[in-house]
């Protein structure tokens, strides 16, 4: 089935309060997708953001990000009194100012908690019963804040670091109100998320989520389930994740995430992973698994190493994990983010699982690897892939066109057709993706709106200034929808 969709994270939606939310603007964007002939809405990971506000470094693989809660929707439900002017007013509309947004939103969410917890007693009890991770997450967050937000392995009380039962009971009692507040925020987040999901699904729009393969070191997951990871008796990682040196980085990339103890997981029947994937399949209709090649083989770096140079490739769980998924979670819709180095082991696993991989049009030109030897060259694409102009980690297509060398631009023109400027070029790139043989075609909203590098979502390896882009109010209008609809008609994707 040929289909298409748009990539736009919730935080990038317009609206009041300084950050996109699960409120009325999200429902309006779903309506825009319908008008555009799009069937898929792709978002970035929805968990609480971590270091550098990255959604890929979350404090939980199960929790939602309270910053994306719509306070206006809470007020409409009678769960929050909200006076005019109380929502955060940013200094510039097109970027998220995380510090100001967080301070304002937490103050108002705390008010909502105090005003409405009593009204929601039964709903909150049911939510806890249905989500056995939430009390541990709430306790982790409360304890972490009580210790000045220090990383959990550096908390001054060793007993709670090691989760000794008496310490867990003590902090649970001492921080009772804070724990209940964090549970309340999770209940509200998921209530709003699933209301949006139902609205989308009722209109034949599928929600496409993004799942990082690794957990953050400073997360409730590593604190709650140390047996899942390669940690020592003091809960410190022994080996961490990354990728080896390549033409882009002579030192490689040292991500620092704890690696999984795949032997321990195998002995447990991959129970933790089944639980994680079950939660993802409930939350999303499609799940992109980031760094999928790590299931075939992963790069293991000694903890404390200054660079990734001293790492080594280690076989991953391979087919056994996905055989378990097939048995326990039939109908799981996974997209394999297979970007990066693919050796024979990776290729065998991809062939075995049969999941769609990814193709990125802007990767298809330049770098001395055009044509037959470049898997991203559009002429080499086949059906079982998800095609993109670019991803959240790339420059926008116009940004790319404005910074590439003449030979690369000429290679793109030779395949796509001549274009006189970047605005014409991005249209040809979008048409290339939509008209490709790939079953699924995805366009970042920045490309649809013809935005330059200033609208880039993330520059890997660069701290600060990432994840902040927001769409201007009124940008997703009927004229843009009609243009996309026409492109979908021509590409036979309706």
What residues are annotated to the active site?
290, 337, 393
User: In degrees rounded to 5, what are phi and psi of residue 34?
Assistant: -60, -50
Q: Which residue has the tokens 């769609």?
A: 356
| Cα torsion angle, 54, 101, 176, 117, sign | negative
- Give the largest Cα separation in the chain, rounded: 70
Q: Which residue has the tokens 């410190």?
A: 236
Instruction: Determine the Cα–Cα distance for residues 209 and 42; give it in Å rounded to an integer.
Output: 6
Non-local CB neighbours of 226 within 8 Å, separated by 6+ positions = 235
Question: Which among 463, 470, 477 has a CA at the least distance from the CA of 91?
Answer: 470
Chain-centre distance for alpha carbon 460: 14
Instruction: Determine the Cα–Cα distance for residues 298 and 93; give it in Å rounded to an integer.
Output: 41
Measured CA distances, 368 to 163, 249, 373, 476 (Å): 53, 18, 10, 37
């Amino acid at each position: 089935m040929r289909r298409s969709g748009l990539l736009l994270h919730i935080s990038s939606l317009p609206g009041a309060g300084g950050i996109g939310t699960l409120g009325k603007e999200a429902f309006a964007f779903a309506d825009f997708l319908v008008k555009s002939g799009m069937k898929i809405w792709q978002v970035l990971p929805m968990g609480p953001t971590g270091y550098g506000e990255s959604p890929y470094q979350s404090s939980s693989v199960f929790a939602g990000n309270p910053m994306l809660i719509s306070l206006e929707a809470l007020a409409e439900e009678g769960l929050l009194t909200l006076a005019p002017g109380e929502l955060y007013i940013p200094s510039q509309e097109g970027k998220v100012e995380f510090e100001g947004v967080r301070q304002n939103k937490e103050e108002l969410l705390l008010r909502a908690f105090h005003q409405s917890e009593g009204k929601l007693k039964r709903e909150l009890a049911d939510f806890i019963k249905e989500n056995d991770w939430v009390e541990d997450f709430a306790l982790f967050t409360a304890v972490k804040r009580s210790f000045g937000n220090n990383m959990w392995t550096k908390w001054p009380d060793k007993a709670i670091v090691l989760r000794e039962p008496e310490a867990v009971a003590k902090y649970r009692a001492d921080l009772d109100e804070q724990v209940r507040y964090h549970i309340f925020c999770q209940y509200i987040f998921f209530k709003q998320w699933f209301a949006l999901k139902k609205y989308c699904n009722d209109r034949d729009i599928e929600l496409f989520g993004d799942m990082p393969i690794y957990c953050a070191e400073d997360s409730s997951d590593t604190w709650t389930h140390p047996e899942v990871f390669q940690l020592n008796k003091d809960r410190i990682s022994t080996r961490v994740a990354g990728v080896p040196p390549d033409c882009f980085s002579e030192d490689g990339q040292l991500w620092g995430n704890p690696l999984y103890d795949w032997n321990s997981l195998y002995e447990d029947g991959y129970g933790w992973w089944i639980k994680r994937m079950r939660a993802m399949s409930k939350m999303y209709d499609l799940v992109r698994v980031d760094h999928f090649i790590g299931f075939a083989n992963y790069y293991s770096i000694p903890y404390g190493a200054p660079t990734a140079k001293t790492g080594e490739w280690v076989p991953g769980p391979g087919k056994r994990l996905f055989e378990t998924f097939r048995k326990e979670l039939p109908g799981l819709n996974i997209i394999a983010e297979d970007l990066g180095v693919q050796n024979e082991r990776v290729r065998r696993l991809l062939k075995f699982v049969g999941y769609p991989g990814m193709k990125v049009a802007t990767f298809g030109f330049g770098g001395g690897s055009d044509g037959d030897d470049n898997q991203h060259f559009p002429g080499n694409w086949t059906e079982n892939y998800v095609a993109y102009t670019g991803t959240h980690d790339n420059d926008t297509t116009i940004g790319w066109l404005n910074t590439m060398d003449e030979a690369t631009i000429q290679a793109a023109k030779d395949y796509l057709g001549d274009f006189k400027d970047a605005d014409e070029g991005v249209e040809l790139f979008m048409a290339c993706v939509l008209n490709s043989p790939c079953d699924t075609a995805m366009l970042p909203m920045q490309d649809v709106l013809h935005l330059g590098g200033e609208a880039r979502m993330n520059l890997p390896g660069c701290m600060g200034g990432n994840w902040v882009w927001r769409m201007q109010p009124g940008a997703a209008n009927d004229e843009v929808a009609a243009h996309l609809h026409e492109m979908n008609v021509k590409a036979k994707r309706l």
